[in-house]
Amino acid sequence: SAVAALVAPMAVGAKSQDYARHIELSLLFYEAQRSGKLPENNRIYWRHDSMLDAGADNKVDLTGGYYDAGDNVKFNFPQAAALTLLAWSGWYYADGYKEAGQWEYILDAVRWGADYFVKCHTGKNELYVQVGKGATDHGFWYPPEYIQYDHPSYKITASAPGSEVAGDTASFLAAASILFKEEDPSYSANLLKHAIEIYDFADAYRGEYIKAVPDAQGFYSNWSGYNDELAFGALWLYRATGESKYMDKFSKIADASYGEQDTKAYGTCTGPISWDDKRPGAYILAAIVTGDEKRKQQAYWYCDNVLTQPRTPGGLWYDSNLSKWASNRYASNAAAMLAMFANYLPKTDSKRSKYVDFVKKQTDYILGDNPMKINYVVGAEANSPKAVHHRAASGTYDSQDTNARPTDYNIFTLWGALAGGPGPKDEYTDSRKNYEMNEVALDYNAAFQTNLAFLVKEGYNKPDPDSVKVHDRSFPKKADTPDITVEVTDKTIEVSTGSNMMCSSWCVEFTTDYKIEAVHDCIMYQSGPDYIICNRRESNFLDGKGTPQVIKYQGSNGQGPLTIDESVVMCDGWHAPQSSHKPMYKPENGRKYKVVGSGGVGNTTPLFEQSECWPAFLCGGSTSPKTTTIKKTTTTTKKSDPTNSNSCFSVAQGYPCCGAGIPVSYEDDSGQWGIENGNWCGIAPIKESCGDYPCCTGCDVQYTDDKKWGVENNNWCLIKEDKCQGSSGTVTCTGQNLGYPCCDTCEAIYTDESGKWGIKNGDWCGLKSSC
């Protein structure tokens, strides 16, 4: 029976199913990976402008785009593959992103990448495909803002082609053109123009790009050949243009004869879609865009095959060859194609529920329903990975990361990054040196994020007040309690921070007539009388726990004691590499504090406008990538703010909601319509309001602070005290603390020490206390 197939509910660990919240976190990760001139609404306070001279070696502008992983190289092959999935998900799961309140952010993430790839297309048969030399970059452990080594740019041409990377670039730009077709038609048309030219180049001049860019071979060699990228690209261009010639190009590859031992044969792939292999994507996209029975059967075959493949004891899909390096990535990739196909299939399809269940279980595993009880999304939970392999987030800058401190956590939180994941027995080590389990990358998050958007669209999102724990490195970052101590002795200057105020690097600045001849274990960046003395090694970081960092100084003979009545300490904004490279003093990247006397709380004052959180523009309500003000879903409170971009009927039809005061211009069966900025918009019916949140229709209390809160339609609402007087309002349910929903009925089919249980939507639910 259905009941017998379920595992007793108490055997399942607590897990977050706040998929919308994790979409927001994932998009923050992509913002942390940005290269180039960052926008004014940059939400990652510890990231700054970087690699502004990208392409200068070839006199082209290649600024922008994304760094690949925890390094400082822009590898366009995996970048295009990841962004294709993001663009696909934005088009296909638009309702999921809108319900999560992340629609503007997914558009911004895709646009940031598309703008860069358009820059890379410098000629009809010329495409830049990499900025930075992996072999050089991986020899240093620097944040991108401070790199001083060369980062050359590499291109493919008619005489040195690269069909796989060009085909992938065409796929991304075509997918992005579909995403922006209604949002920004002229931008969409330009993207499609470039996609067509780049695909024609990839198809006409065939070859492997590692021959044109040998440096890529040690990092992103294409093992599956380039036919899969050409097939996938042709499908995207067919979807974007409707021109049959692209379907002909796809069919020529898909229906060709291949040898029995040909591992690159089109129809033989049973593994996940990846930066290397696009065949699974082609199987699913071909079924979606053609509806042809032959293509649909191939998609069914592929999806059914995925369901039969091995998993870890805890349930994570695991390929013995691929998954040892970033198992969460490949499990998400495998699930993503089943989600895409399920989204196409009617709900009456007998296989659809199996595909959806697989996607949900793989995602839930990553979010904490695993034997280690770890949420593998950085910053999501108190036990999420803290030491992922990432140069900028680490806050350290020692060459090769051999002496980097701290070793067990990163100074900065890389919000939303998906850590590589566990081994075949669900084991995991949170170590920056464990590349297989703890690296992060653009393609790790891509499929994972698409699955989150799918699950929100399917109605599985559960707002979780505690899905993001309150801790001292929350987003937006809570303003530091200014707490810096500067103590002077006859031989040393000791600098420390308290109140958990951490500085990855620091400089102390002061003016004195005292002549300092030399300092030890630090660097005298500027000599007196206006001294600037900075830390030499990353092991001298200020830990926020009062640990003093010592400047040993040597003064001229015959002087009295050194006294410092007032100093300025700069937190971050300084880089002292252990190599032949020069130290870099960038106060624009740091924060300065005035310290009076020996300092401490009350004697440390920010010399900048310090808001309640960083970045300052987020503190009172975040600003979207364009100019729209949207409600902040902050992690600094116990209760996640709801987002409700579907507050009016028109959103589902592709039209925005009207602003306040727009008059009714037209009315049909859908509702009332207005005109704003020359475009139709939907007028939301006036609803009873309880301040910034809707009023609950019922009295079931899900959370209490200074008010009583309920959850309706996957969004927070306020309990009306006058309506619910006479009722305690507090209805508890069995297993509510473990994330199980309340049952809609009082039919009990299972009882244990925690209470009575029922079944809802094929899963356990807890009976209400009122039953």
Active-site annotation, residues: 71, 389, 430, 439
Q: Which two tokens stand for residue 624?
A: 């979207």
Residues 6+ apart with CB under 8 A from 146: 397, 575, 577, 584, 586
Residues 6+ apart with CB under 8 A from 598: 485, 486, 487
- Per DSSP (E only), the strands in 145-229 are 153-157
Q: Which residue has the tokens 């100019």?
A: 627
Residues 6+ apart with CB under 8 A from 331: 272, 316, 317, 318, 323, 362, 365, 366, 421
Could you tell me where the DSSP H helices lie in 401-493? 435-438, 442-457
Q: Are 238 and 289 in contact (CB under 8 A)?
A: yes
Query: Coil, strand or helix: which one is 268?
Result: helix
Backbone angles phi, psi at 484, to 5 degrees: -120, 135
Residues 6+ apart with CB under 8 A from 680: 650, 655, 666, 673, 674
Whole-number Å distance between alpha carbons of 237 and 289? 11
Q: Which of 279, 299, 294, 290 is nearest to 232 (CA)?
A: 279
Q: Which helix (H) or strand (E) holds 676?
A: strand 672-676
Let me know the angle formed at the C-alpha of 457 by 453 and 463, rounded to the nearest 5 degrees. 80
Q: Which two tokens stand for residue 771?
A: 């039953």
Rg of the chain over all Cα atoms, to the nearest angstrom: 28
Whole-number Å distance between alpha carbons of 433 and 424? 19
Whole-number Å distance between alpha carbons of 358 and 96? 18
CB atoms closer than 10 angstroms to residue 211: 13
Query: Coil, strand or helix: which one is 138?
Result: coil
Whole-number Å distance between alpha carbons of 191 and 193? 5
Q: Are 533 and 591 in contact (CB under 8 A)?
A: no
Residues 6+ apart with CB under 8 A from 753: none
CB atoms closer than 10 angstroms to residue 766: 24
The DSSP letter of residue 144 is: G
Could you tell me where the DSSP H helices lie in 505-637? none
